[in-house]
Amino acid sequence: MSPLHVLQFFIFSVCIHLFSIFTYLVYYYDLFTSSDEILEEYDFIIVGSGTAGSLIAHRLSKDTNYTFVVLEAGGEGHTFHSIPAFGPLLHGSVFDWQFQTVPQENACLAMVNSQCKQTQGKMLGGSSKMNNMIHFRGNTSHYVDWFHGKFTKEYIEEHLNYIESNVYPLHNIQYHSQISDVVLNAAEEIGYKELNSQNNLGFAKSLLTQRNGKRWTTSDNFDTSKYVLTNVLVDKLIIEEDKCIGVQISYPKRVKLFAKKGVIVSAGAYNSPKLLQLSGIGPVDILNSVNVSVIKELPVGKNLQDHIGTGLDLVLFDTPQSVGMFDIMNLFHVYQYFVNGTGALTTPGCEVVGFVSTDNHTVPDVQFMVLPVGITADRGSHLRKTLGITDFVWDNYFSKLFDKHAATFFTLLLHPKSIGEVKIKSKDPNLPPKIDPKYLSHPNDVKTLVNGVKILIKLVETDAMKAIGGHLNEKHFPGCENYDIFSDLYLECYVKHLTLSSYHPVGTCSMGPRESKSSVVDTSFKVIGIEHLYVVDGSVLPTLPSGNINAAIAMMANIFFENTIKSRLSLNENLFCKNSVLDDLIFKVCPVR
Ligand SMILES: Cc1cc2nc3c(=O)[nH]c(=O)nc-3n(C[C@H](O)[C@H](O)[C@H](O)COP(=O)(O)OP(=O)(O)OC[C@H]3O[C@@H](n4cnc5c(N)ncnc54)[C@H](O)[C@@H]3O)c2cc1C
Ligand SMILES: *[C@@H]1O[C@H](CO)[C@@H](O)[C@H](O)[C@H]1NC(C)=O
Ligand SMILES: *[C@@H]1O[C@H](CO)[C@@H](O)[C@H](O)[C@H]1NC(C)=O
Ligand SMILES: *[C@@H]1O[C@H](CO)[C@@H](O)[C@H](O)[C@H]1NC(C)=O
Ligand SMILES: *[C@@H]1O[C@H](CO)[C@@H](O)[C@H](O)[C@H]1NC(C)=O
Ligand SMILES: *[C@@H]1O[C@H](CO)[C@@H](O)[C@H](O)[C@H]1NC(C)=O
């Protein structure tokens, strides 16, 4: 490193450490001062305050008189943690579960031990407290399929409309580099128009879940101090005679809390299957291997899918284009953010999204997310650790790019065919589950991703990009030196080495028909065969949405509230409903008991 780079590294490291000390202080302050009152019994208990859990809590508090509590394993955070530009600083912090995959055979080869990190929020607000805030509906016909004909496309669109007008304030990206406009022009040169609601192919500037430049999450919609207990890890569900009657928590001491009408598990796509398995609901072999007695055999933890991609620092510019680290530390920008809700601190990172088809059809199979910064922007002080890049790759590839101005055109698979699984490896609720996504294990995925990178190459070689000095990073990736640069074999090697998760895990408690061997919950989100137990979060999505997934998760949570909780309110208890088998059959009519 040159003296200048060493100085930059030093300054960034100091700032990042200061932020991290601040985060610890906030965390411990919350841990030792919270003295929330806990009742012994509620109508509903919600596990997890993420996108789904907080949305359900918001609706319960606004539209019903039910008593409920939200139990959140993570801490509360501070308003500074909602500053959009600081999102990446939470990755790897005490507010991240810090999960990682098991060593991958075909992917993540540039990471230590071939393990990809899996950032997931462990704080009030969940993963959306550290996401990129991109709001995207995806293809609604896929959501119609999830419900197997129970709802029409119009009905699902109504719920997306509800989310967009009552749950999330949406804002067009307001601070961005010149790359955004250039990319839109470059896309047009290669035949992609601006994205609109009629067409799922094309490019557009990001639409964000922000209010006045501040990150907005579903937990910002209600008085969390009244309903959410933070730093409370749920260890286990209490199930008696095939009915969930409450949960067991271990903080501040081991106690049981009871739920009269239901327990709603919204712990996210890794922790929801973990909690079900710990409670005896899951594949028999997994439960037996850790001596958990089987209550109900269901394919919990199977069908794990994630949007994965590549492309970090693959595009270089001759001149600085981006929101640099020094822009973010600039006091004028701090003033702009706090006084006006504008400026560099409102940046979501990703400025443009694009949807393309690698096989010349009309249905997109690859998404681009354009970030004007690369992992080298902080000289290795933080971002590289959040991905677990090896020293060898860092020294031989990324650190050589310090004098260039790198950007990331993150190229990702929308509908990967590789399917993985999550399983507990012990009865101890404090241990992380074993996550094996089997990234790129299906050969089609490698092929589609390689074709996606080829479209990216075309995009970079346009006149629009050349005009601002954009070009491809032609340095061979370590481990792929034997192939001709950008040949098919080179790109295959490249995507297997530099595999990146967009942290969109789904599918681990899949929704589907009750008779199907792959369903964990039915189309009213009830765990099959267990009364009063619901899973509502990313884990019930049986397939990946065609785009960023948060809007789809919020839509699902809203449908759960309207259909499973609220619609039953107006109905009185009737005789049939006292019989749980009949209740199962006519679930649309019976109120929640
Ligand atoms: C870095 C990152 C960037 C992303 N970018 C985008 C984006 O730009 N656009 C987009 O649409 N999506 C994005 N996503 C995805 C999206 O944010 C998530 O898919 C979504 O927030 C998941 O919501 P959820 O309700 O399923 O779970 P989460 O929001 O993860 O919530 C689960 C909550 O449950 C808590 N919990 C877990 N286990 C327990 C337990 N045993 N006891 C008590 N509490 C527990 C957790 O601490 C957490 O708060 C991103 C995700 C990440 C991580
Ligand atoms: C909740 O209680 C209030 C006061 O008792 C009542 O006016 C209101 O109608 C109730 N709301 C619902 C949804 O039951
Ligand atoms: C949405 O998905 C359906 C089913 O896969 C497909 O037929 C349709 O063309 C897609 N729509 C768009 C706009 O991509
Ligand atoms: C399971 O229980 C058996 C017998 O009680 C014991 O031998 C074994 O070590 C246990 N396994 C685990 C993983 O706890
Ligand atoms: C404040 O925001 C307005 C638009 O909302 C903008 O026109 C103005 O320049 C901003 N002021 C500062 C100091 O950033
Ligand atoms: C798509 O069409 C273009 C031109 O029509 C052609 O050059 C390209 O090879 C096609 N790609 C595939 C994957 O069929």
Run of H or E residues at 501: strand 500-501
- Residue 189 sits in a domain whose CATH number is 3.30.410.40
Based on the domain organization, do 458 and 541 belong to the same domain? Answer: no
DSSP tag of 293: P
Instruction: Characterize the bridge pairing of strands 68-71 and 228-229.
Output: parallel
Question: Into how many domains does the chain fold?
Answer: 2
> 271 with 135, same domain?
yes
Selection from 470, 500, 478, 474 nearest residue 487 by Cα: 474
Q: Is 476 exposed, middle or buried (0-12, 13-18, 19+ CB in 10 A)?
A: middle
- Are residues 536 and 389 part of one domain? no
| pLDDT score recorded for residue 332 | 86
Task: Verify that 410 and 316 share a domain, yes or no.
Answer: yes
Residue 404 sits in the same domain as residue 388: yes
Domain that holds residue 332: 178-205+308-415+441-498
How far does residue 556's CA lie from ligand 2's centre (Å)?
25
In whole angstroms, give the CA distance from residue 309 to residue 276: 30
535 strand-pairing partners: 265
* Residues 290 and 161 occupy one common structural domain: yes
19 located within any domain: no
Q: How many angstroms separate the CA atoms of 366 and 29, rounded?
A: 44
pLDDT the model gives residue 78: 92
What does the pLDDT read at residue 533? 98
Q: List per-residue pLDDT tens for the chain, 593 residues long.
A: 788 888 888 888 888 888 888 888 888 888 877 667 788 999 999 999 999 999 999 999 999 999 999 999 999 999 999 999 999 999 999 999 999 999 999 999 999 999 999 999 999 999 999 999 999 999 999 999 999 999 999 999 999 999 999 999 999 999 999 999 999 999 999 999 998 776 789 999 999 999 999 999 999 999 999 999 999 999 999 999 999 999 999 876 779 999 999 999 999 999 999 999 999 999 999 999 999 999 999 999 999 999 999 999 999 998 877 666 666 677 888 888 999 999 889 999 999 999 999 987 789 999 999 999 889 888 888 999 999 999 999 999 999 998 888 999 999 999 999 999 999 999 999 999 999 999 999 999 999 999 999 999 999 999 999 999 999 999 999 999 999 999 999 999 999 999 999 999 999 999 999 999 999 999 999 999 999 999 999 999 999 999 999 999 999 999 999 999 988 765 544 444 444 444 444 444 444 43
**361 within some domain:** yes
Is 44 among the domain residues?
yes
Give residue 204 CA to ligand 3 midpoint distance, Å.
19
What CATH number does residue 163 fall under? Answer: 3.50.50.60
Does any ligand 5 atom lie closer than 6 A to the CB of residue 346?
no
Per-residue HEC secondary structure of 133-202 comes to CECCCCCHHHHHHHCCCCCCHHHHHHHHHHHHHHHCCEEECCCCCCHHHHHHHHHHHCCCCECECCECCE
Are 478 and 347 in contact, with CB atoms under 8 Å apart? no
Atom 12 in ligand 6: which residue has the minimum CA distance? Answer: 359
Whether 545 is in a domain gets the answer yes
Report helix, strand or coil for 438. coil
Threshold 0.85, pTM exceeds? yes
Assess contact for 73 and 232: CB atoms under 8 A. Answer: yes
Closest residue by CA, ligand 2 atom 6: 65
436: in domain: no
208 - beta bridge partners?
Answer: 134, 171
Q: Is 290 in the pocket of ligand 4 (CB under 6 A)?
A: yes
Task: Give how far Cα 209 sits from Cα of 4, 53, 217, 218, 248, Å.
Answer: 37, 17, 7, 10, 34
Q: Is residue 108 part of a domain?
A: no
In this structure, the answer to whether residues 351 and 292 fall within a common structural domain is: no
For residue 342, how far is its CA from the centre of ligand 5 (angstroms)?
Answer: 7
Distance 544 CA to ligand 3 centre (A): 13
Q: Tell me: is residue 234 an annotated ligand-binding position.
A: yes
Do both 531 and 576 map to the same domain? yes
Write the secondary structure of 301-334 as one string of H (helix), E (strand) and C (coil).
CCCEECCEEECCCCEEECCCCCCCHHHHCCHHHH
Domain end among 498, 521, 547: 498
3-state secondary structure of 409: strand
State yes or no: 538 annotated in a binding site.
yes
Residues 277 and 188 in one domain: no
Beta carbon of 572 within 6 Å of any ligand 4 atom: no
First to last CA, the chain: 66
Same domain, 475 and 336: yes
